[in-house]
Chains A and B, each alone.
Chain A
Amino acid sequence: SAVISQKPSRDICQRGTSLTIQCQVDSQVTMMFWYRQQPGQSLTLIATANQGSEATYESGFVIDKFPISRPNLTFSTLTVSNMSPEDSSIYLCSALRQGGSMQYFGPGTRLTVT
């Protein structure tokens, strides 16, 4: 298994500011993903964090709004830029180990934008 931690676990931010969420995996993984989950809703994939190259974004998500870094095989960050109340959500990172198909999820970051 892989243990994933996220920081911060929650935050309350003012509109117009930015927040960077960190995701740390306890072992090397091949793929890392970022999801958003509104309360009571399903998970929506934001992007795949690629190690050493630009992230691959899903339709409706852009790099300027959600810049992602992945400097190595165990760490990634997601920044939510120029936040608005509509960005209030839970943000989850997940990871896949090499040769595996099971996603391991972090505990999530609960973001509230006022």
Chain B
Amino acid sequence: GQQVMQIPQYQHVQEGEDFTTYCNSSTTLSNIQWYKQRPGGHPVFLIQLVKSGEVKKQKRLTFQFGEAKKNSSLHITATQTTDVGTYFCVNNNDMRFGAGTRLTVKP
């Protein structure tokens, strides 16, 4: 399996600003998952995307799966300090984690 590539590696934002992390794969994914890991914690499942072009929302979080099922994004609107952590995309075919994007939020 191919590891999904994830960017950016780090993102520092002011509270209230938006945040986006992107995942890209060279091969078509059957589905993709997103996890959040708080500092000192373990990964916690956020969502799974399965369908081409799928968009799902969880409050201020919006998840998208590309039409070709080779890329995905997670967008957070108006970040809060509780959003701090590392966000990982995961190729559910082989359980491989992306490199993760570490988000820090300045109050």
Residues of A in contact with B (beta carbons under 8 Å apart): 33, 35, 40-45, 48, 92, 94, 101-108
Contact = CB atoms under 8 A, between A and B. Distances in A.
Given A43-B97, A102-B48, A108 B42 contact: yes
B45, B48, B88: residue with the most chain A Cβ atoms closer than 10 Å: B45
B88 A103 contact: no
B78 interface: no
Contacts, number: 42
A42 B94 CA distance: 15
- Give the bracket for the number of chain B residues in contact with chain A: 20 to 34
Interface of B: 31, 33, 35, 41-45, 48, 88, 90, 92, 94-100, 102
B45 A102 contact: yes
Contacts of B98: 42
A57 to B, nearest CB: 13
A25 to B, nearest CB: 14
B10 to A, nearest CB: 10
13 contacts: A41-B99, A42-B88, A42-B97, A43-B97, A45-B94, A45-B95, A92-B42, A101-B92, A102-B33, A102-B48, A103-B33, A103-B90, A105-B43
